[in-house]
Amino acid sequence: MENLKEDSMKMHNFSAGPSIMPAEVFEEASRAILEFNGGGMSLLEISHRSKPFQDVMDEAHALVYELMGLSDDYKVVFLTGGASTQFFQVPMNLLNDGEKALYLETGVWASRAIKEAKFFGNPIIAGSSREANFNFIPKDLNIDPEARYMHITSNNTIYGTQQHWWPDVAMPLVCDMSSDIFSREFPLEKFGLIYAGAQKNMGAAGTTLVVVRKDMLGHVNRTLPTMIDYRTHIDNGSMYNTPPVFPIYVSMLVMRWIKKMGGVKAMEDINEAKAKILYDEIDRNPLFKGTTAVEDRSRMNVCFVMEDPSKEEAFMNLAKANGISGIKGHRSVGGFRASIYNAMPQSSIQVLVDLMRDFEQTNG
């Protein structure tokens, strides 16, 4: 009986990444592995140079342009290696030895980006919340006007903070949008380069989106390995070598779904409403409290703890017993983290909120 119940239990996936995607994406991707496009073969076995896959690649590129409202001044490529590879690829392509770039240190990922930038230029920390375990976004910034760009992590998955304003600087912003891409609009004209690992809000692990304004490139005088030079991939439509076929296909399906849902602005409105439901309960329920500065709260990753940490295990068990998956907080913050990306339905958030209320009734 216990097993039967488990088997039929609806799961609510709050994982930080890889993470929830629309059910229709899983269904279509599953079918494509058996047979793609009516051609009698799997998506995984056809040539990446074949028309059916070229169509996928073309649509994936076109959807990025459409969803972000990009002009031709921007180039779109699908790469591999995750944001961690961009941490060095960005400065290697954009900074000459000794040239300055500003970095906002808002978490461990930002710190890693700074570490890699030191190999190729002179990263300067414009602001840091390290001393507060990154529980807020620094607002009082030191802006060196000589810097070639300013690097920002738009959403900090581990800590649950998010950039809700953009620095008023003359140099272009370079932004790691891995965990909130396509979740909201932003002032494109401020951005020179945007990158995002796909596996949070854009698809399956295995591809990295890079959007770069053309005038950012061609400035450095070092010789770049062919695969590291963004221009290689721009000039070859992300097909200089065999691309990660399946991860790009899944990203294309997710972007199709976003478009069908009304686009990025529609997602933003939905995400605001979804996050409010959970934060309102955290603020109302005397057993729980948020871990970040209120004004910097992320609409993607909601981090919270219990006033009485000894009760956290009991709440975790209650959540698990009700199909809530992936809400254990990162070890550096503790407590809980509910990741509520684009594909997270409001109904699942309501299940979590109802459990918080139930727990208050029985343990308050």
Positions touching a second copy (CB under 8 A) are: 7, 9-11, 13, 15-21, 26-27, 29-31, 33-34, 38-42, 44-48, 80-85, 87-88, 92, 112, 115-116, 119, 197, 199, 204-207, 223, 225-228, 240-247, 250, 323, 325-326
Shortest Cβ 187–a second copy spacing (Å):
28
Residues 18, 19, 22, CA angle at the centre, nearest 5°?
Answer: 130
Q: How far is 242 from 199, CA to CA, in rounded Å?
A: 20
* Comparison of 29 and 264: residue with beta carbon closer to a second copy: 29
Catalytic residue among 72, 97, 100, 109: 109
Phi, psi angle pair for 340, to nearest 5°: -125, 65
What is the residue-wise DSSP string for 174-211? EEE-TTTTTSS---GGGEEEEEEETTTTTSSTT-EEEE
* Comparison of 223 and 310: residue with beta carbon closer to a second copy: 223
Sign of CA dihedral 27, 32, 38, 41: negative
Q: Which two tokens stand for residue 151?
A: 């690097």
Q: Is 73 a catalytic residue?
A: no
> For tokens 């008023």, what's the residue?
168
- Compute the radius of gyration of the chain from its Cα atoms: 21
Catalytic residue among 75, 180, 200, 274: 200
* Comparison of 32 and 67: residue with beta carbon closer to a second copy: 32
3-state secondary structure of 153: strand
Shortest Cβ 189–a second copy spacing (Å):
30
Catalytic residue among 58, 75, 166, 176: 176
* Comparison of 119 and 357: residue with beta carbon closer to a second copy: 119
Shortest Cβ 300–a second copy spacing (Å):
15
* Comparison of 41 and 293: residue with beta carbon closer to a second copy: 41
* Comparison of 229 and 268: residue with beta carbon closer to a second copy: 229
Q: Which two tokens stand for residue 56?
A: 């996928």
Shortest Cβ 326–a second copy spacing (Å):
6
Q: Is 7 a catalytic residue?
A: no
Shortest Cβ 169–a second copy spacing (Å):
26
Residue 123 CA: distances (Å) to CA of 9, 190, 292: 49, 19, 26
* Comparison of 63 and 198: residue with beta carbon closer to a second copy: 198
Phi, psi angle pair for 72, to nearest 5°: -65, -10
> Where does residue 10 rank: exposed (0-12), middle (13-18), buried (19+ CB within 10 A)?
exposed
- In single-letter form, the type of residue at position 253 comes to L
Give the number of other CB atoms < 10 A from CB of residue 272: 12
- In single-letter form, the type of residue at position 272 comes to E
Shortest Cβ 327–a second copy spacing (Å):
11
Shortest Cβ 73–a second copy spacing (Å):
27
Q: Is 176 a catalytic residue?
A: yes
Q: How far is 212 from 76, CA to CA, in rounded Å?
A: 7
Q: Which residue in 318, 308, 304, 309 sits closest to 351, CA to CA?
A: 318
What is the residue-wise DSSP string for 84-131? HHHHHHHHHHH--TT-EEEEEE-SHHHHHHHHHHTTTSEEEEEEE-GG
Q: Catalytic site residues?
A: 109, 176, 200
